[in-house]
Structure 1
């Protein structure tokens, strides 16, 4: 019997959730995703030391005053470029989380990132811009998509976010399975959930079935897994982005993997009426888990961005 990882590849596009080139090269995913937390970890690897120094030098040459944002983007693009040399598909690069509530600034920063990739000879069809699925982020993605720049709406915890993202024409969404589970464990007092009752798994299944029933083209990519059971329960999802540790666990397991999601078997019809901004904010506000995890996710990404910037400042001291 082949490994569960190889079985998963037959029904789902496997994506590496890491900036570590060695791990990506080992597991041969189609795509890879990065975020400020992963960029921070990658920047601490010795192999990226020359890239870190080059990014700082370029940024300082372009502007002597506000060079940090330029350096951060140059570093993210540099890591993305390295990743694209070892994968056949796309890399997701995150826009500064501090812009999560500013549509215009998100668009401008996203176009700047794409331009940097293009200056390195990388076409826009190999890039996904990662944007937090706030109302402002979804609107930014809508306009970027219309201009031919494809987006990955991340930090997605609710059906309302998913419906709005699909209505906006987003290329891909990243529902965060494990973080949903974390919240429910904390608030329910229940310490263990079977994969079939895991609230994060159930959320992704509902979104996947809704998209297929209503013929949305938006890709569903489950993310933020806590264990292989969650991954196995979503076998058949369009894409799954998986950490190196869980990729290794799947690769070491030769048991049978049964497909759980299929576009032709989506169960009872799910209806949802799209809402305006006020309705979106009201629905999200009424969902304590999604509201708290979205805010926490943005805060954490900003914190890691700040840590990396402080490190860069330390390098120039």
Structure 2
């Protein structure tokens, strides 16, 4: 499974990319707004930090405006993936941009039927929102499993990008359910490294090394 980091904080992205932990980035207008910088400048800098796809979202809601914004975003860098909402206009824009060779991330997916339509429209990625479904006491992971089955049944190439991930269990369960990508906040990604037994074992090794006077 590939990891994307869900942030517009370029310092976080740089550090995680240098560690080889991420394969791409997802952003949204809210995340970019926190930087206080021009939207296109932030996206351009992020695209320089990772060779993987960087999702940049349109703010238009009608087909023509979505396509125009998508074309503008794609000109920022070749690794931009245009992020479109799962609406009729969004799906129409997805088909147009995909036919032009632009990568598209269809977002705000909450049902398997929606995911099926996004694949039919040629989406590069479909983003089911796990955490938001869990908030409504609906099993978000079951949605990932259903989409995986449907896509495998018909050999769709659209990649399942598990989104709205809140914790380490979401990451593990997404991988078990067959998601192609998980996009996670930096704090969740860093938290995957930690385990108390790792810390305990390292402390014991270091203590034994000090007693034995071992140095390298």
**In structure 1, the residue corresponding to 2:8 is in which secondary structure?**
coil
1:247 Cα shift?
A: 0.5
Which position in structure 1 is the counterpart of 2:2?
Answer: 13
1:142 Cα shift?
A: 0.8
Which position in structure 1 is the counterpart of 2:205?
Answer: none
Which position in structure 2 is the counterpart of 1:145?
Answer: 98
Residue pair 1:17, 1:242 contacting (<8 A) in 2 also:
yes
Shift of the 81–254 alpha-carbon distance from structure 1 to 2, 3 Å rule, reads farther
1:254 Cα shift?
A: 8.0
Aligned counterpart in structure 2 of residue 103 of structure 1, from 48, 59, 63: 63
Task: Answer yes or no: is 1:113 the counterpart of 2:102.
Answer: no
TM-score by length of 2: 0.83
CA distance in structure 1 between the aligned counterparts of 2:181 and 2:30, rounded to whole angstroms: 21
> How many equivalent residue pairs?
192
Which position in structure 2 is the counterpart of 1:215?
Answer: 155
Q: Deviations over 1:292-315 (max 9, x none)?
A: xxxxxxxxxxxxxxxxxxxxxxxx
Question: Which structure carries more relative contact order (alpha carbon 8 Å, separation 6+)?
Answer: 1
Task: Answer yes or no: is 1:205 the counterpart of 2:194.
Answer: no
1:80 Cα shift?
A: 1.3
CA distance in structure 1 between the aligned counterparts of 2:152 and 2:14, rounded to whole angstroms: 32
Gaps of 5+ in 1: 1-11, 44-51, 53-74, 185-197, 256-317
CA distance in structure 2 between the aligned counterparts of 1:142 and 1:230, rounded to whole angstroms: 30
CA distance in structure 2 between the aligned counterparts of 1:22 and 1:210, rounded to whole angstroms: 38
Residue pair 1:76, 1:93 contacting (<8 A) in 2 also:
no
**In structure 1, the residue corresponding to 2:189 is in which secondary structure?**
helix
CA distance in structure 2 between the aligned counterparts of 1:242 and 1:226, rounded to whole angstroms: 8
Gaps of 5+ in 2: 198-216
Which position in structure 2 is the counterpart of 1:239?
Answer: 181
- The structure that is strand-richer by fraction is 2
After TM superposition, what 4+ stretches of structure 1 lie above 4 angstroms from structure 2? none
- The structure that is helix-richer by fraction is 1
TM-score by length of 1: 0.58
CA distance in structure 1 between the aligned counterparts of 2:196 and 2:155, rounded to whole angstroms: 34
CA distance in structure 1 between the aligned counterparts of 2:43 and 2:196, rounded to whole angstroms: 32
